[in-house]
Structure 1
Amino acid sequence: MPAAANPSSRSPSPPAPPPLAESPGPRATALINVFNNALEATLRKCSYSSFAACFPTPAKYVPESLDALWRDFTGKLGQVWKAEFDNILTERKVVQSLNSLDQCIADAKNRKERAELNTNGGPVEVPVPPHTLPPSSLRLAHLIPFLEQHSALLNSQLSATQTANTELLSAITAQRAEIEALVRSLDKVVHDLETSAQMMGQDEVQSLSAEIREIEEDMKSR
Protein backbone atom coordinates (compact mmCIF):
# COMPACT_ATOMS: atom_id res chain seq x y z
CA MET A 1 0.00 0.00 0.00
CA PRO A 2 1.50 3.44 -0.82
CA ALA A 3 2.77 5.49 2.03
CA ALA A 4 0.37 8.11 3.33
CA ALA A 5 1.24 11.69 2.58
CA ASN A 6 2.61 13.82 5.41
CA PRO A 7 -0.23 16.15 6.48
CA SER A 8 2.21 18.89 7.49
CA SER A 9 3.68 18.99 3.97
CA ARG A 10 0.33 19.30 2.23
CA SER A 11 -0.85 22.59 0.81
CA PRO A 12 -3.58 24.36 2.78
CA SER A 13 -7.15 23.56 1.93
CA PRO A 14 -8.63 25.80 -0.79
CA PRO A 15 -11.08 28.46 0.35
CA ALA A 16 -14.79 27.73 0.16
CA PRO A 17 -16.29 28.54 -3.25
CA PRO A 18 -18.43 31.66 -3.51
CA PRO A 19 -22.20 31.19 -3.47
CA LEU A 20 -23.58 30.28 -6.88
CA ALA A 21 -25.66 32.90 -8.67
CA GLU A 22 -29.30 32.12 -9.34
CA SER A 23 -29.23 33.82 -12.75
CA PRO A 24 -28.29 31.50 -15.64
CA GLY A 25 -24.66 31.49 -16.70
CA PRO A 26 -23.31 30.76 -20.20
CA ARG A 27 -24.08 27.03 -20.18
CA ALA A 28 -27.44 27.38 -18.45
CA THR A 29 -28.40 30.09 -20.94
CA ALA A 30 -27.35 27.84 -23.84
CA LEU A 31 -29.45 24.98 -22.43
CA ILE A 32 -32.52 27.23 -22.09
CA ASN A 33 -32.02 28.52 -25.63
CA VAL A 34 -31.77 24.98 -26.98
CA PHE A 35 -35.04 24.05 -25.26
CA ASN A 36 -36.82 27.19 -26.50
CA ASN A 37 -35.62 26.59 -30.07
CA ALA A 38 -36.67 22.94 -29.92
CA LEU A 39 -40.06 23.95 -28.49
CA GLU A 40 -40.66 26.49 -31.26
CA ALA A 41 -39.55 24.04 -33.94
CA THR A 42 -41.84 21.34 -32.57
CA LEU A 43 -44.84 23.68 -32.42
CA ARG A 44 -44.12 24.87 -35.96
CA LYS A 45 -44.35 21.29 -37.14
CA CYS A 46 -47.88 21.26 -35.74
CA SER A 47 -49.14 23.76 -38.31
CA TYR A 48 -52.76 24.53 -38.97
CA SER A 49 -52.75 22.53 -42.17
CA SER A 50 -51.41 19.46 -40.35
CA PHE A 51 -53.91 19.99 -37.53
CA ALA A 52 -56.83 20.48 -39.96
CA ALA A 53 -55.88 17.31 -41.81
CA CYS A 54 -56.71 15.39 -38.64
CA PHE A 55 -60.17 17.00 -38.46
CA PRO A 56 -61.41 17.32 -42.07
CA THR A 57 -65.09 17.85 -41.26
CA PRO A 58 -64.64 20.79 -38.85
CA ALA A 59 -62.00 22.19 -41.20
CA LYS A 60 -64.56 22.21 -44.00
CA TYR A 61 -67.59 23.56 -42.15
CA VAL A 62 -66.22 25.60 -39.20
CA PRO A 63 -62.64 26.54 -40.12
CA GLU A 64 -62.70 29.62 -37.87
CA SER A 65 -63.56 27.53 -34.80
CA LEU A 66 -60.92 24.93 -35.70
CA ASP A 67 -58.34 27.65 -36.19
CA ALA A 68 -59.13 29.06 -32.73
CA LEU A 69 -58.93 25.54 -31.27
CA TRP A 70 -55.56 24.98 -32.96
CA ARG A 71 -54.15 28.23 -31.61
CA ASP A 72 -55.44 27.50 -28.11
CA PHE A 73 -54.11 23.92 -28.25
CA THR A 74 -50.60 24.85 -29.42
CA GLY A 75 -50.43 27.78 -27.01
CA LYS A 76 -51.39 25.68 -23.98
CA LEU A 77 -49.13 22.85 -25.10
CA GLY A 78 -46.20 25.24 -25.25
CA GLN A 79 -47.06 26.60 -21.79
CA VAL A 80 -47.25 23.11 -20.29
CA TRP A 81 -43.91 22.09 -21.78
CA LYS A 82 -42.30 25.33 -20.60
CA ALA A 83 -43.71 24.92 -17.09
CA GLU A 84 -42.45 21.31 -16.91
CA PHE A 85 -39.02 22.40 -18.10
CA ASP A 86 -38.90 25.18 -15.48
CA ASN A 87 -39.92 22.69 -12.77
CA ILE A 88 -37.09 20.38 -13.79
CA LEU A 89 -34.62 23.27 -13.69
CA THR A 90 -35.78 24.17 -10.18
CA GLU A 91 -36.07 20.67 -8.69
CA ARG A 92 -32.75 19.42 -10.07
CA LYS A 93 -30.99 22.77 -9.49
CA VAL A 94 -29.80 22.69 -13.07
CA VAL A 95 -28.88 26.38 -13.23
CA GLN A 96 -26.78 26.20 -10.05
CA SER A 97 -25.04 23.04 -11.25
CA LEU A 98 -24.19 24.52 -14.63
CA ASN A 99 -23.02 27.72 -12.96
CA SER A 100 -20.79 25.59 -10.73
CA LEU A 101 -19.39 23.91 -13.84
CA ASP A 102 -18.73 27.35 -15.37
CA GLN A 103 -16.95 28.38 -12.18
CA CYS A 104 -14.82 25.22 -12.12
CA ILE A 105 -13.79 25.73 -15.75
CA ALA A 106 -12.99 29.40 -15.14
CA ASP A 107 -10.90 28.48 -12.06
CA ALA A 108 -9.04 25.84 -14.06
CA LYS A 109 -8.26 28.38 -16.80
CA ASN A 110 -7.05 30.89 -14.21
CA ARG A 111 -4.80 28.29 -12.56
CA LYS A 112 -3.40 27.34 -15.95
CA GLU A 113 -2.67 30.98 -16.79
CA ARG A 114 -0.99 31.55 -13.41
CA ALA A 115 1.10 28.39 -13.87
CA GLU A 116 2.21 29.56 -17.30
CA LEU A 117 3.16 32.96 -15.92
CA ASN A 118 5.10 31.44 -13.02
CA THR A 119 7.19 29.25 -15.34
CA ASN A 120 8.41 32.29 -17.35
CA GLY A 121 8.02 30.47 -20.63
CA GLY A 122 9.25 27.11 -19.32
CA PRO A 123 7.33 23.86 -19.32
CA VAL A 124 4.24 23.77 -17.12
CA GLU A 125 4.09 20.99 -14.58
CA VAL A 126 0.95 19.01 -15.20
CA PRO A 127 -0.99 18.34 -11.94
CA VAL A 128 -1.67 14.77 -10.97
CA PRO A 129 -5.19 13.72 -12.10
CA PRO A 130 -7.29 12.91 -9.04
CA HIS A 131 -8.36 9.52 -10.40
CA THR A 132 -4.72 8.38 -10.47
CA LEU A 133 -4.07 9.17 -6.79
CA PRO A 134 -3.75 6.24 -4.35
CA PRO A 135 -6.61 5.59 -1.92
CA SER A 136 -4.59 6.87 1.03
CA SER A 137 -4.11 10.29 -0.58
CA LEU A 138 -7.79 10.56 -1.48
CA ARG A 139 -8.74 9.56 2.04
CA LEU A 140 -6.43 12.18 3.53
CA ALA A 141 -7.74 14.82 1.12
CA HIS A 142 -11.22 14.29 2.56
CA LEU A 143 -10.20 13.76 6.18
CA ILE A 144 -7.61 16.50 6.70
CA PRO A 145 -10.05 19.48 6.55
CA PHE A 146 -12.37 17.65 8.98
CA LEU A 147 -9.48 16.73 11.28
CA GLU A 148 -8.05 20.25 11.16
CA GLN A 149 -11.39 21.72 12.15
CA HIS A 150 -11.80 19.35 15.08
CA SER A 151 -8.16 19.76 16.07
CA ALA A 152 -8.68 23.51 16.31
CA LEU A 153 -11.82 22.92 18.40
CA LEU A 154 -10.00 20.53 20.74
CA ASN A 155 -7.06 22.93 21.08
CA SER A 156 -9.47 25.71 22.01
CA GLN A 157 -11.15 23.50 24.63
CA LEU A 158 -7.75 22.40 25.97
CA SER A 159 -6.62 26.03 26.28
CA ALA A 160 -9.82 26.91 28.16
CA THR A 161 -9.32 23.92 30.49
CA GLN A 162 -5.70 24.89 31.16
CA THR A 163 -6.76 28.45 31.98
CA ALA A 164 -9.44 27.16 34.36
CA ASN A 165 -6.92 24.83 36.01
CA THR A 166 -4.46 27.70 36.48
CA GLU A 167 -7.14 29.83 38.12
CA LEU A 168 -8.17 26.89 40.34
CA LEU A 169 -4.54 26.29 41.37
CA SER A 170 -4.15 29.96 42.30
CA ALA A 171 -7.31 29.79 44.42
CA ILE A 172 -6.14 26.60 46.16
CA THR A 173 -2.71 28.11 46.83
CA ALA A 174 -4.30 31.22 48.36
CA GLN A 175 -6.60 29.09 50.53
CA ARG A 176 -3.66 26.96 51.67
CA ALA A 177 -1.71 30.07 52.63
CA GLU A 178 -4.73 31.35 54.58
CA ILE A 179 -5.05 27.99 56.39
CA GLU A 180 -1.35 28.02 57.28
CA ALA A 181 -1.73 31.56 58.68
CA LEU A 182 -4.68 30.43 60.82
CA VAL A 183 -2.71 27.43 62.09
CA ARG A 184 0.18 29.71 63.08
CA SER A 185 -2.27 31.98 64.92
CA LEU A 186 -3.74 28.98 66.77
CA ASP A 187 -0.26 27.78 67.68
CA LYS A 188 0.48 31.18 69.17
CA VAL A 189 -2.74 31.13 71.20
CA VAL A 190 -1.96 27.62 72.48
CA HIS A 191 1.52 28.75 73.40
CA ASP A 192 0.11 31.71 75.36
CA LEU A 193 -2.32 29.43 77.18
CA GLU A 194 0.44 27.01 78.10
CA THR A 195 2.55 29.89 79.40
CA SER A 196 -0.36 31.13 81.52
CA ALA A 197 -0.90 27.65 82.92
CA GLN A 198 2.75 27.43 83.88
CA MET A 199 2.52 30.76 85.69
CA MET A 200 -0.52 29.56 87.65
CA GLY A 201 1.57 26.72 89.04
CA GLN A 202 4.29 28.92 90.55
CA ASP A 203 4.79 29.49 94.37
CA GLU A 204 3.42 33.02 94.38
CA VAL A 205 0.20 31.91 92.87
CA GLN A 206 -0.02 29.03 95.40
CA SER A 207 0.56 31.36 98.38
CA LEU A 208 -2.09 33.68 97.07
CA SER A 209 -4.44 30.78 96.90
CA ALA A 210 -3.62 29.83 100.50
CA GLU A 211 -4.36 33.36 101.70
CA ILE A 212 -7.65 33.31 99.91
CA ARG A 213 -8.58 30.02 101.56
CA GLU A 214 -7.68 31.40 105.02
CA ILE A 215 -9.85 34.44 104.45
CA GLU A 216 -12.71 32.23 103.40
CA GLU A 217 -12.32 30.03 106.53
CA ASP A 218 -12.14 33.07 108.77
CA MET A 219 -15.33 34.43 107.28
CA LYS A 220 -17.04 31.10 107.80
CA SER A 221 -16.00 30.95 111.51
CA ARG A 222 -17.60 34.30 112.25
Structure 2
Amino acid sequence: MSTADQQQQGEDQQREQNASRAPTQTGPEGGAPETTTTAAVVAEEEAPATTAASTSITTKTTTEQPSSDPDPPESPPLPSKHTAATPGPRAVRFHDVFSSTLKHTLDKINRANFAACYPTIAARAPGTLEFVQRQMVERLGAQCNKEFDSILENRNVVAKLNELESLVSDAARRKADIGSGPDAATTPVPPHTLPATAVQAAHLAPHLASQQSQLNAKLQNVQAHNARLFDDIRQQRAELEALLGAVEAAVADMEGASGLLDGVVDELALESRDVEMQMSGI
Protein backbone atom coordinates (compact mmCIF):
# COMPACT_ATOMS: atom_id res chain seq x y z
CA MET A 1 0.00 0.00 0.00
CA SER A 2 1.41 3.42 -0.93
CA THR A 3 1.85 6.38 1.40
CA ALA A 4 -1.06 8.27 -0.16
CA ASP A 5 -3.45 5.30 0.39
CA GLN A 6 -2.36 4.93 4.03
CA GLN A 7 -2.89 8.64 4.63
CA GLN A 8 -6.33 8.49 2.97
CA GLN A 9 -7.35 5.49 5.14
CA GLY A 10 -6.25 7.30 8.34
CA GLU A 11 -8.25 10.38 7.40
CA ASP A 12 -11.37 8.24 6.75
CA GLN A 13 -11.09 6.65 10.21
CA GLN A 14 -10.73 10.08 11.81
CA ARG A 15 -13.86 11.33 10.05
CA GLU A 16 -15.84 8.31 11.28
CA GLN A 17 -14.73 8.96 14.90
CA ASN A 18 -15.68 12.64 14.63
CA ALA A 19 -19.10 11.68 13.22
CA SER A 20 -19.73 9.23 16.11
CA ARG A 21 -18.76 11.84 18.70
CA ALA A 22 -20.92 14.58 17.18
CA PRO A 23 -24.07 15.43 19.35
CA THR A 24 -27.40 14.36 17.96
CA GLN A 25 -29.82 17.27 17.75
CA THR A 26 -33.56 17.01 17.42
CA GLY A 27 -35.80 19.14 15.41
CA PRO A 28 -37.97 21.80 16.87
CA GLU A 29 -40.93 19.43 17.03
CA GLY A 30 -39.06 16.40 18.46
CA GLY A 31 -38.91 14.57 15.12
CA ALA A 32 -35.95 12.84 13.47
CA PRO A 33 -32.47 13.94 14.50
CA GLU A 34 -30.99 16.74 12.44
CA THR A 35 -27.67 15.89 10.64
CA THR A 36 -26.81 19.30 9.21
CA THR A 37 -24.00 19.92 11.70
CA THR A 38 -22.47 16.47 11.14
CA ALA A 39 -22.53 16.86 7.35
CA ALA A 40 -20.89 20.26 7.62
CA VAL A 41 -18.14 18.86 9.85
CA VAL A 42 -17.54 15.96 7.45
CA ALA A 43 -17.39 18.34 4.47
CA GLU A 44 -14.94 20.65 6.25
CA GLU A 45 -12.70 17.70 7.17
CA GLU A 46 -12.92 16.09 3.72
CA ALA A 47 -11.74 19.17 1.90
CA PRO A 48 -8.33 19.43 3.60
CA ALA A 49 -7.94 15.66 3.37
CA THR A 50 -8.46 15.76 -0.40
CA THR A 51 -6.03 18.63 -0.69
CA ALA A 52 -3.42 16.77 1.37
CA ALA A 53 -3.87 13.62 -0.74
CA SER A 54 -3.48 15.53 -3.99
CA THR A 55 -0.44 17.33 -2.58
CA SER A 56 1.09 13.98 -1.56
CA ILE A 57 0.49 12.51 -5.03
CA THR A 58 1.96 15.59 -6.70
CA THR A 59 5.00 15.45 -4.43
CA LYS A 60 5.50 11.76 -5.17
CA THR A 61 5.20 12.32 -8.93
CA THR A 62 7.66 15.18 -8.79
CA THR A 63 10.08 13.06 -6.76
CA GLU A 64 9.89 10.16 -9.21
CA GLN A 65 10.69 12.35 -12.22
CA PRO A 66 14.34 12.53 -13.26
CA SER A 67 16.22 15.35 -11.65
CA SER A 68 17.99 16.59 -14.78
CA ASP A 69 17.07 16.54 -18.48
CA PRO A 70 19.71 16.17 -21.18
CA ASP A 71 20.88 19.46 -22.57
CA PRO A 72 19.35 20.27 -25.97
CA PRO A 73 21.78 20.39 -28.90
CA GLU A 74 23.23 23.74 -29.70
CA SER A 75 21.80 25.49 -32.72
CA PRO A 76 24.17 25.90 -35.68
CA PRO A 77 25.73 29.34 -36.18
CA LEU A 78 23.93 31.78 -38.42
CA PRO A 79 25.33 32.15 -41.96
CA SER A 80 27.41 35.20 -42.65
CA LYS A 81 25.55 38.12 -44.10
CA HIS A 82 25.91 38.61 -47.86
CA THR A 83 27.96 41.66 -48.71
CA ALA A 84 27.17 43.11 -52.12
CA ALA A 85 30.06 44.06 -54.38
CA THR A 86 30.72 47.76 -54.92
CA PRO A 87 29.11 48.70 -58.23
CA GLY A 88 31.45 49.98 -60.90
CA PRO A 89 30.76 52.63 -63.56
CA ARG A 90 28.81 50.26 -65.80
CA ALA A 91 26.69 48.96 -62.91
CA VAL A 92 25.93 52.53 -61.79
CA ARG A 93 25.01 53.51 -65.34
CA PHE A 94 22.80 50.43 -65.67
CA HIS A 95 20.95 51.37 -62.47
CA ASP A 96 20.58 54.98 -63.63
CA VAL A 97 19.11 53.87 -66.96
CA PHE A 98 16.60 51.66 -65.17
CA SER A 99 15.61 54.45 -62.79
CA SER A 100 15.14 56.98 -65.59
CA THR A 101 13.17 54.51 -67.71
CA LEU A 102 10.91 53.59 -64.78
CA LYS A 103 10.33 57.26 -63.96
CA HIS A 104 9.48 58.00 -67.60
CA THR A 105 7.03 55.09 -67.61
CA LEU A 106 5.35 56.08 -64.34
CA ASP A 107 5.05 59.68 -65.50
CA LYS A 108 2.60 58.44 -68.13
CA ILE A 109 0.21 57.56 -65.31
CA ASN A 110 -0.45 61.23 -64.52
CA ARG A 111 -3.63 62.87 -63.31
CA ALA A 112 -4.83 63.85 -66.77
CA ASN A 113 -4.46 60.35 -68.25
CA PHE A 114 -5.98 58.79 -65.15
CA ALA A 115 -8.92 61.20 -65.25
CA ALA A 116 -9.44 60.44 -68.95
CA CYS A 117 -9.77 56.75 -68.11
CA TYR A 118 -12.31 57.43 -65.31
CA PRO A 119 -14.21 60.60 -66.30
CA THR A 120 -17.20 60.02 -64.00
CA ILE A 121 -15.09 59.59 -60.87
CA ALA A 122 -12.90 62.54 -61.93
CA ALA A 123 -15.97 64.73 -62.17
CA ARG A 124 -17.65 63.61 -58.94
CA ALA A 125 -14.70 62.71 -56.65
CA PRO A 126 -11.46 64.19 -57.98
CA GLY A 127 -9.73 63.94 -54.60
CA THR A 128 -10.39 60.22 -54.35
CA LEU A 129 -9.19 59.65 -57.90
CA GLU A 130 -6.02 61.64 -57.24
CA PHE A 131 -5.36 59.60 -54.09
CA VAL A 132 -5.83 56.32 -55.98
CA GLN A 133 -3.56 57.54 -58.78
CA ARG A 134 -0.81 58.51 -56.34
CA GLN A 135 -1.07 55.22 -54.45
CA MET A 136 -0.96 53.25 -57.70
CA VAL A 137 2.17 55.06 -58.92
CA GLU A 138 3.95 54.58 -55.61
CA ARG A 139 2.95 50.90 -55.46
CA LEU A 140 4.13 50.19 -59.00
CA GLY A 141 7.43 52.02 -58.43
CA ALA A 142 8.15 50.13 -55.21
CA GLN A 143 7.26 46.79 -56.79
CA CYS A 144 9.44 47.42 -59.85
CA ASN A 145 12.41 48.50 -57.72
CA LYS A 146 12.04 45.43 -55.52
CA GLU A 147 11.90 43.11 -58.53
CA PHE A 148 14.89 44.84 -60.11
CA ASP A 149 16.97 44.47 -56.93
CA SER A 150 15.98 40.79 -56.71
CA ILE A 151 17.13 40.18 -60.29
CA LEU A 152 20.42 41.97 -59.63
CA GLU A 153 21.08 39.78 -56.59
CA ASN A 154 19.98 36.45 -58.10
CA ARG A 155 21.86 36.90 -61.39
CA ASN A 156 24.92 38.51 -59.76
CA VAL A 157 24.70 41.38 -62.24
CA VAL A 158 26.93 43.81 -60.35
CA ALA A 159 29.85 41.38 -60.11
CA LYS A 160 29.55 40.43 -63.78
CA LEU A 161 29.44 44.08 -64.86
CA ASN A 162 32.50 44.77 -62.73
CA GLU A 163 34.25 41.83 -64.41
CA LEU A 164 33.31 43.24 -67.81
CA GLU A 165 34.73 46.58 -66.70
CA SER A 166 38.04 44.95 -65.77
CA LEU A 167 38.17 43.10 -69.10
CA VAL A 168 37.56 46.31 -71.06
CA SER A 169 40.19 48.19 -69.07
CA ASP A 170 42.66 45.33 -69.57
CA ALA A 171 41.99 45.34 -73.32
CA ALA A 172 42.49 49.12 -73.47
CA ARG A 173 45.74 48.79 -71.55
CA ARG A 174 47.01 46.09 -73.91
CA LYS A 175 46.02 48.16 -76.91
CA ALA A 176 47.90 51.14 -75.51
CA ASP A 177 50.95 48.97 -74.84
CA ILE A 178 50.89 47.69 -78.41
CA GLY A 179 50.57 51.24 -79.76
CA SER A 180 53.59 52.44 -77.79
CA GLY A 181 55.77 49.38 -78.47
CA PRO A 182 58.27 48.65 -81.24
CA ASP A 183 55.47 47.16 -83.41
CA ALA A 184 53.35 50.32 -83.25
CA ALA A 185 53.37 50.69 -87.05
CA THR A 186 51.74 47.30 -87.57
CA THR A 187 47.98 47.24 -87.11
CA PRO A 188 46.83 44.38 -84.82
CA VAL A 189 44.66 41.78 -86.51
CA PRO A 190 41.23 41.25 -84.88
CA PRO A 191 40.98 37.69 -83.52
CA HIS A 192 37.65 36.98 -85.21
CA THR A 193 39.22 37.51 -88.66
CA LEU A 194 41.92 34.87 -88.17
CA PRO A 195 41.57 31.48 -89.90
CA ALA A 196 40.65 28.34 -88.00
CA THR A 197 44.18 26.98 -88.12
CA ALA A 198 45.60 30.11 -86.48
CA VAL A 199 42.96 30.06 -83.75
CA GLN A 200 43.62 26.36 -83.12
CA ALA A 201 47.36 26.97 -82.99
CA ALA A 202 46.82 29.81 -80.53
CA HIS A 203 44.76 27.54 -78.26
CA LEU A 204 47.30 24.70 -78.53
CA ALA A 205 50.36 26.93 -78.10
CA PRO A 206 50.50 26.81 -74.26
CA HIS A 207 50.13 23.01 -74.20
CA LEU A 208 52.67 22.55 -76.96
CA ALA A 209 55.09 24.94 -75.26
CA SER A 210 54.97 22.95 -72.02
CA GLN A 211 55.46 19.68 -73.90
CA GLN A 212 58.35 21.19 -75.85
CA SER A 213 60.05 22.32 -72.64
CA GLN A 214 59.72 18.79 -71.22
CA LEU A 215 61.14 17.25 -74.39
CA ASN A 216 64.04 19.73 -74.37
CA ALA A 217 64.85 18.75 -70.79
CA LYS A 218 64.80 15.05 -71.70
CA LEU A 219 66.98 15.74 -74.77
CA GLN A 220 69.53 17.58 -72.64
CA ASN A 221 69.66 14.67 -70.19
CA VAL A 222 70.19 12.17 -73.03
CA GLN A 223 72.89 14.33 -74.59
CA ALA A 224 74.74 14.61 -71.27
CA HIS A 225 74.52 10.83 -70.81
CA ASN A 226 75.86 10.28 -74.36
CA ALA A 227 78.76 12.67 -73.69
CA ARG A 228 79.71 10.69 -70.59
CA LEU A 229 79.55 7.43 -72.57
CA PHE A 230 81.72 8.92 -75.34
CA ASP A 231 84.37 9.95 -72.81
CA ASP A 232 84.38 6.40 -71.39
CA ILE A 233 84.80 4.96 -74.91
CA ARG A 234 87.71 7.29 -75.68
CA GLN A 235 89.47 6.28 -72.48
CA GLN A 236 88.95 2.60 -73.29
CA ARG A 237 90.32 3.13 -76.81
CA ALA A 238 93.40 4.86 -75.42
CA GLU A 239 93.95 1.95 -73.05
CA LEU A 240 93.59 -0.54 -75.94
CA GLU A 241 96.09 1.38 -78.08
CA ALA A 242 98.56 1.43 -75.20
CA LEU A 243 98.18 -2.31 -74.67
CA LEU A 244 98.55 -2.97 -78.39
CA GLY A 245 101.76 -0.90 -78.52
CA ALA A 246 103.19 -2.87 -75.58
CA VAL A 247 102.36 -6.19 -77.30
CA GLU A 248 103.96 -5.05 -80.56
CA ALA A 249 107.12 -4.00 -78.71
CA ALA A 250 107.32 -7.38 -77.00
CA VAL A 251 106.90 -9.17 -80.36
CA ALA A 252 109.68 -7.05 -81.90
CA ASP A 253 111.97 -7.93 -79.01
CA MET A 254 111.21 -11.63 -79.48
CA GLU A 255 111.92 -11.43 -83.22
CA GLY A 256 115.25 -9.64 -82.63
CA ALA A 257 116.22 -12.23 -80.04
CA SER A 258 115.37 -15.09 -82.42
CA GLY A 259 117.44 -13.42 -85.21
CA LEU A 260 120.46 -13.29 -82.92
CA LEU A 261 120.08 -16.95 -81.96
CA ASP A 262 120.02 -18.25 -85.57
CA GLY A 263 123.91 -18.45 -86.04
CA VAL A 264 124.50 -19.62 -82.49
CA VAL A 265 122.09 -22.53 -82.94
CA ASP A 266 123.93 -23.76 -86.08
CA GLU A 267 127.29 -23.65 -84.35
CA LEU A 268 125.92 -25.48 -81.35
CA ALA A 269 124.49 -28.15 -83.66
CA LEU A 270 127.86 -28.69 -85.38
CA GLU A 271 129.66 -28.86 -82.08
CA SER A 272 127.17 -31.35 -80.68
CA ARG A 273 127.55 -33.60 -83.76
CA ASP A 274 131.36 -33.46 -83.48
CA VAL A 275 131.17 -34.40 -79.87
CA GLU A 276 128.87 -37.31 -80.62
CA MET A 277 131.20 -38.58 -83.33
CA GLN A 278 134.18 -38.36 -81.08
CA MET A 279 132.38 -40.21 -78.41
CA SER A 280 131.25 -42.88 -80.83
CA GLY A 281 134.93 -43.36 -82.17
CA ILE A 282 136.13 -44.00 -78.74
Instruction: Provide the TM-score with structure 2 as the length reference.
Output: 0.39
Whichever of the two has the greater Rg, that structure is: 2
Question: Which is bigger in relative contact order (C-alpha 8 A, separation at least 6)?
Answer: 1
Superposition TM-score, scaled by structure 1 size? 0.48
